[in-house]
């Protein structure tokens, strides 16, 4: 199976540069460091390597505690972090200045082989459920203990895997261990026929820590807002900004901080605000709000915790329209009441648990959201009730990074 897969991928590989060129039209960062994606001109590291793969921003941020544990315990090793997206790569560079940050190679046989021959990782940890057959298969050949950590396999995904399990499971069974977020994932992998080590460790996204630059970034943002009250719309998706702008009350003595999910949409939001004659500033301008400014465009990377810290209320983007929501844990970590819509299927367990704990409110539609925000701004008791339960929620589910560390460090 792996031979046929590799051959088919080889046949379509000439299309990959065209794909990068296409993506580069919207985001020029896709045109940078392309050699890493093909395993070309890689630099041999000076130290032994601990390798962690995190596909994008959320997965990268979820490694902070684990990387700290590994770095502190094994200073003779260097951390190699691989990403798939430019935003993930930028986040990794900001968070881990002493690490090697690199794109994961495309799952081509020779690209993966060159990657392993160059870095020779002592251990590999793939965050979440990223299944790349060549990457996994060749790890065994190069005698690299490879773990799937923070693994999540929903019932829907399980059904998809189950249709092809006779093709997939010979690959997945090359993994040294699968470290699961919860029991359903463990049972799903067991039912698929995984024969390696299966353990429930929890979700590392709860194990948040403040980055080194947090205080300086927060201070910079405080100078911009000058004690104004902030309502944050985080990680908004296409079409949601228009709904927000149609329904927010610009007469209120508050500033609306809108942070589009994708950087290529920062300028699109600015154009929308100009067409609507709404006064705004961009975070990247780093200048104080004028008296008539009503919107801040959060057009920076790696500052989400500081954005939450200066906000009164956080509304989770991707949940207003049907995008499945975004991760709300960083807002809870900052003790901020969180509001999200009906579409949170990508974070369904976190959404349910936070609602059960009482630190979040789910709204039915954009009009209902407006009413909830108005209530929170005038009802101090309700606001404090939500705020005080954030720490309770986070404390209850922390510790996954330590449990992963306790397992993988036996291979170092």
Instruction: Give the residue numbers annotated as catalytic, written as ranges.
Output: 59
Question: Which residues are within 8 A (CB) of 116 and not within 5 positions of it... i.e. 6 or more apart?
Answer: 138, 139, 142, 144
Cβ count within 10 A of residue 271: 9
Indicate if the alpha-carbon torsion angle 66, 69, 71, 75 is positive or negative: negative
Buried b (16+ CB within 10 A) or exposed e, 125-163: bbbbbbebbbbbbbbeebebbbbbbbbbbbeeebeebee
Question: Which residues are within 8 A (CB) of 184 and not within 5 positions of it... i.e. 6 or more apart?
Answer: 153, 154, 155
Q: Which two tokens stand for residue 344?
A: 């949170």
Helix H segments across 131-196? 133-141, 155-163, 165-172, 183-192
Q: What are phi and psi of 87, to 5 degrees?
A: -65, -35
74 secondary structure, DSSP code: -
Give the position of tokens 């049907």. 322
Give the position of tokens 């939001």. 269
Do residues 311 and 225 touch, judged by C-beta distance below 8 A? no
Do residues 179 and 151 touch, judged by C-beta distance below 8 A? yes
Buried b (16+ CB within 10 A) or exposed e, 331-353: bbbbbbbbbbbebbebbeebbee
State the DSSP string of 182-245: SHHHHHHHHHHT--SEEEE---GGG-----TTHHHHHHHHHHHHTT--EEEEEEE-TTHHHHHH
Residue 62 and residue 60: Cα distance in Å, rounded?
Answer: 5
Q: Which two tokens stand for residue 40?
A: 């070309």
Residue 117 and residue 332: Cα distance in Å, rounded?
Answer: 42
């Amino acid at each position: 199976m792996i031979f046929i897969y590799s051959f088919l991928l080889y046949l379509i590989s000439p299309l990959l540069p065209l794909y990068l060129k296409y993506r580069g039209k919207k985001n020029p960062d896709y045109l940078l460091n392309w050699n890493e994606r093909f395993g070309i001109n890689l630099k041999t590291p000076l130290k032994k390597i601990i390798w962690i793969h995190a596909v994008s921003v959320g997965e990268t941020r979820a490694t902070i505690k684990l990387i700290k544990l590994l770095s502190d315990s094994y200073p003779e090793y260097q951390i190699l972090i691989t990403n798939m997206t430019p935003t993930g790569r930028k986040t990794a560079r900001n968070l881990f200045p002493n690490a090697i940050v690199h794109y994961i190679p495309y799952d081509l046989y020779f690209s993966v082989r060159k990657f392993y021959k160059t870095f020779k990782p002592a251990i590999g940890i793939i965050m979440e459920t990223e299944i790349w057959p060549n990457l996994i298969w060749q790890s065994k050949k190069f005698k690299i203990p490879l773990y799937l950590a923070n693994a999540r396999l929903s019932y829907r995904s399980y059904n998809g895997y189950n249709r092809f399990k006779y093709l997939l499971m010979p690959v997945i069974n090359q993994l040294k261990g699968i470290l699961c977020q919860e029991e359903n994932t463990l049972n799903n992998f067991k039912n698929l026929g995984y024969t390696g080590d299966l353990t429930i460790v929890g979700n590392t996204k709860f194990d948040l820590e403040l980055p080194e630059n947090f205080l300086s970034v927060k201070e910079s943002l405080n100078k911009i807002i000058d004690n104004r009250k902030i309502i944050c719309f985080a990680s908004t998706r296409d079409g949601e900004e228009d709904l927000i702008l149609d329904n927010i009350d610009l007469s209120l003595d508050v500033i609306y901080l809108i942070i589009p999910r994708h950087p290529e949409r920062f300028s699109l939001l600015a154009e929308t605000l100009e067409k609507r004659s709404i006064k705004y500033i961009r975070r990247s301008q780093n200048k104080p709000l004028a008296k008539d400014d009503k919107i801040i465009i959060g057009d920076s990377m790696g500052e989400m915790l500081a954005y939450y810290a200066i906000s009164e209320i956080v509304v989770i983007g991707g949940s207003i329209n049907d995008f499945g929501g975004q991760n709300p844990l960083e807002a809870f970590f900052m003790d901020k009441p969180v509001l999200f819509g009906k579409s949170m299927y990508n974070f369904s367990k976190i959404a349910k648990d936070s609602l059960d704990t009482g630190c979040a409110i789910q709204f039915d539609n954009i009009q209902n959201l407006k009413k909830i925000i108005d209530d929170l701004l005038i009802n101090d008791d309700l606001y404090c009730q939500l705020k005080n339960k954030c720490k309770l929620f986070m404390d209850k589910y922390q510790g996954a990074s330590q449990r992963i560390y306790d397992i993988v460090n036996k291979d170092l």
